[in-house]
Amino acid sequence: MFRKIIFGLIISFVFVSIVFGQKNAAKVLIKNNSQIAAPQMLDEKIKAELANFRGNVWIYAKNLDTGRDYALRADEQVRTASTIKLAILTEVFAQIEAGKIKWTDEFVLTKPNKFGGSGVLSEFSDGTKIDLKTATNLMIVVSDNTATNLILDKITTEAVNARMDALGLTHIRSLKKIFGGGDSRAASDPLLKIFGIGASTTREMVKLVEMMERGELVSKQSSTDMIAILRRQQYTDGIGRGLLDTTPIASKSGALDRLRSDVGIIYTRRGRIAMAITVDDMPVVQYNEENPGLAMLWRLSQILQAGLAK
């Protein structure tokens, strides 16, 4: 009887050990597989979200703390709309540091140099003076088109493109001022004529803001100052929609009739997620928060934040 009890205990111990070992092995397998399959799972979620969307989408996103990234058509050039102002901002700071221009340099607003669309300067009286610092802030914070054109008159589209070349961002091109004029040499390229004021790839746009975030763009102080301006940008109804006040974002958006784009860094608790998303070729022209492109930017941002979190 005693032997039967001992034998039973031994069998039970062996059984429990096997089951426990299998569970641990399964956990390791699941963990390892998740590490391998995570990008695929993220891709599946992105593709599922886009399945019924009417339009084309380009994406590049990267967790700056882990290096994990996601790309969808990330090396194809797209229309920038106002996200080209990130490249213009970079050249402004570079020329400031080189002593070519000063923050106190003034512009005088006149009827010919005021432009509509986004911004506020078109509402200012003729003869109003603003300095370069004010124009630069307005170019980003409220995407002011008048400020952008005044700045391009001063620094030139050619200088912006030369700066991008020096940074290795050869697909980011400033082509012309908003509503025309000040054309760069790149604007004469037949392949770029359809891009309007600017062209880029989503991968290079993320690289630009990543360099900014890491203090590698122009200088550490200039990078910090540029990020501070982007964090005050007021159009956050794309990738930044619905973020809590405790989750900062530094970004620049863009809009055309059938396009919505957004480039920025979302400072989540699970990593700094940099992303650039362009939505184009939408069949509907709709300038409000219900624009399907804006809604798509928001949903994709949520998926990318979750999928690339550390």
CB contact at 8 A, 236 and 301: no
**Residue 225: predicted pLDDT:** 98
Angle at the Cα of 144 from the Cα atoms of 268 and 147, rounded to 5 degrees: 125
Q: What structural domains does the chain harbor?
A: 42-76+232-310 (3.40.710.10), 79-200 (3.40.710.10)
Q: Give which of 126, 127, 147, 136 is closest to 102, Cα–Cα.
A: 136
Paired tokens of 213: 């975030």
Beta strands in 45-143 (DSSP E): 56-63, 69-72, 78-79, 106-108, 129-131
**Strand pairing class (173-174; 129-131):** unpaired
248-254 contact pairs (CB < 8 A, 24+): 250/209, 250/213, 252/82, 252/83, 252/85, 252/86, 252/140, 252/143, 253/82, 253/83, 253/143, 254/80, 254/81, 254/82, 254/83, 254/84, 254/143
Mean pLDDT value of segment 95-105: 98
Average pLDDT over residues 99-127: 96
Question: What pLDDT, on the 0 to 100 scale, is given for residue 121?
Answer: 97
The string of pLDDT tens digits covering residues 152-198 is 999 999 999 999 999 999 999 999 999 999 999 999 999 999 999 99
Q: How far apart are CA 221 and CA 79, in angstroms?
A: 30
Quick: pLDDT tens for 149-159: 999 999 999 99
Per the prediction, the chain carries an average pLDDT of: 90
Cα separation, 138 vs 153, in Å, equals 16
At 194, list the tokens: 């359809």
In single-letter form, the type of residue at position 57 comes to V
Reply yes or no on whether the pLDDT at 24 is more than 70: no
Average pLDDT over residues 127-139: 98
- Side chain identity at 292, as an amino acid letter? P
Strand pairing partners for 57?
A: 279
Q: Tell me, what's the pLDDT at 128?
A: 98
* Residue 46 pLDDT greater than 80, yes or no: yes
At 290 the pLDDT is 87
C-alpha distances out from residue 39 to 44, 62, 94, 203, Å: 9, 12, 37, 17
pLDDT 10s digits, 209-256: 999 999 999 999 999 999 999 999 999 999 999 898 899 999 999 999
